[in-house]
Amino acid sequence: MTWPSEKVRRLAIHSSSNSSNIQYHQQRQFFSFEHLRSFITVSSTNPLLSKTFLSEVLRSSKLLKVLELVGQEIEETPNEVFNLLHLTYLSLYGTKVKSVPRAIGKLQHLEYLNLGYTGLRELPAEILKLLKLRYLTVFQPVDTSDDDYGFHGFKGPSKLGGLLSLQTLNTIDASSGSVIVKEIGKLTQLRVLYITQLRREDGKELCSSLVNLTSLRELSVDSVGKGDDYEIIDLNHHQHSLSSSSSSSCSFLQSLRVILMCGRLEKMPQWVAHLHSLVRIDLDWSRLRGEEDPLESLQHLPNLGRINFCGSYQGEGLCFKAGGFLKLKWMHLKRMEGLRWMRVEEGALPRLQKLFLEQLPSLEELPMGIQHLIKLQRLTLYEMSSQLREKLLENQKEESEDYRKIAHIPEILIGYYTDDGEWRDRWLWAEKKKTYNLS
């Protein structure tokens, strides 16, 4: 394209090609970046752009405030970045950057720093000089497998609590111990907190820190380990004050809307039942024993709309009692090998719209009372027992009991692997819907 003006303030490049680079070399003498305030690239991986064009932009854009280099094929942060003293927003998301130089401390006005999906695992102490920093994201995905997923966090400096303006901290590696967990309690402006590699012995310290985070909206806690070897998350240290009249008992995590926990639980933290603002809870690999029914502490939460359980419960049955889960719209239950039955009492789950059941090999019957879920729009059954799958696929007669239970559900998807290892999706009402649509 022809360079539009000598006073361009915002430049976004969404892709690059050889032709655009030729055009750049032909017209580069007419380009001016002196007035540039915002420079954004999205998945623009042409190496000529990365080295030549990017370098010239950064060198001449002294007034730049926003720099976003999403998906660039760069392995280190360009040195020119640290001379952009007016920079408030820096994103290197999805790049191959593996370290941040100490010069990061020069960016005194930086408020937003996104280093997600990079190779970074540690930040220098100079990050503490960024006193205006409100958003800090540093994580790297774990190699995926059936039992091992999530993200690596970063190891921060021991005095991380000095970043008093911080509102988002994602994801801090707590494996170094109680010092960093205690520092989190000083970040009283936090709204989003993601912690990984939490040790069992640091659970009490974390609860003490959480008392101070009265604005927290989203909390994610991953323990040390993976799969069946996750260490216990011990967060049952605030229940003693829940019955007291102290201000801390009234305010403890009362702003929390999302809680994600990955790791074993001996019991559900008692304070979870008091999170009246909670809209979503994920429990992964908590392995709660049969007597620790996770539904007991969740069923009366007034705003809970989404549940995701994966390997969360070792009991044989789950009962959704009448009057429980009045706002729940989405539920995913996965990898609970001992689960043999589910029951939905009339008056429970009145607003449930999507139910996803996956890898529950002992569940050989449809949930009892599923006919009470009158708002259910979609039922998905993935890798369930062969008995349940065959019963549904082979018996679609309208007079059958199973048919009558689920006839009101518009979409029913059954997914499974065939004997030769091929994945197959089957829509239960496919033929019926096709006939209906034609009419």
What is the full DSSP assignment across 267-284? S--GGGGG-TT--EEEEE
CA 42 to chain centre: 22
What's the Rg (C-alpha) of the chain? 26
Report pTM. 0.89
Same domain flag for 330 and 439: yes
Q: Is 127 among the domain residues?
A: no
Q: Is 121 among the domain residues?
A: no
pLDDT at 166: 98
Among 136, 196, 198, residue whose Cα is nearest residue 164: 136
| Domains in the chain, number | 3
Q: Is 124 among the domain residues?
A: no
CA 248 to chain centre: 28
Residues 6+ apart with CB under 8 A from 258: 217, 218, 219, 220, 278, 279, 280, 281
Identify the domain containing residue 23 by its residue range: 1-110
Q: Is 55 among the domain residues?
A: yes
Same domain flag for 280 and 146: yes
The DSSP H or E segment spanning 47 is helix 47-48
What CATH number has the domain bearing residue 265?
3.80.10
Same domain flag for 194 and 53: no
Cα within 13 Å of Cα(375), Cβ side: 14
Give the position of tokens 């998945």. 43
Same domain flag for 191 and 212: yes
End-of-domain residue from the set 75, 110, 145: 110
Give the position of tokens 């001992």. 338
Same domain flag for 72 and 203: no
Q: Is 314 among the domain residues?
A: no
Same domain flag for 327 and 371: yes
Same domain flag for 156 and 247: yes
Q: Is 33 among the domain residues?
A: yes
Residues 6+ apart with CB under 8 A from 187: 160, 161, 163, 164, 166, 169, 193, 213
Same domain flag for 272 and 302: no
Whether the CB-CB separation of 1 and 23 falls below 8 Å is answered with yes
Q: Is 128 among the domain residues?
A: no
Same domain flag for 252 and 148: yes
Q: Is 129 among the domain residues?
A: no
Same domain flag for 283 and 296: no
Same domain flag for 278 and 191: yes
Same domain flag for 269 and 335: no
Per-residue model confidence as pLDDT tens for the chain (439 residues): 555 566 788 888 776 555 444 455 545 554 668 888 999 887 655 554 556 777 888 888 889 999 999 888 888 898 999 999 999 999 999 999 999 999 999 999 999 999 999 999 999 999 999 999 999 999 988 765 555 567 889 999 999 999 999 999 999 999 988 999 999 999 999 999 999 999 999 999 999 999 999 999 999 999 998 766 788 999 988 654 444 444 444 578 999 999 999 999 999 999 999 999 999 999 999 999 999 999 999 999 999 999 999 999 999 999 999 999 999 999 999 999 999 999 999 999 999 999 999 999 999 999 999 999 999 999 999 999 999 998 888 766 666 788 889 999 999 999 999 999 999 999 987 645 443 343 3
Query: Which tens digits make up the pLDDT trace of 305-315?
Result: 999 999 999 99
pLDDT at 240: 43
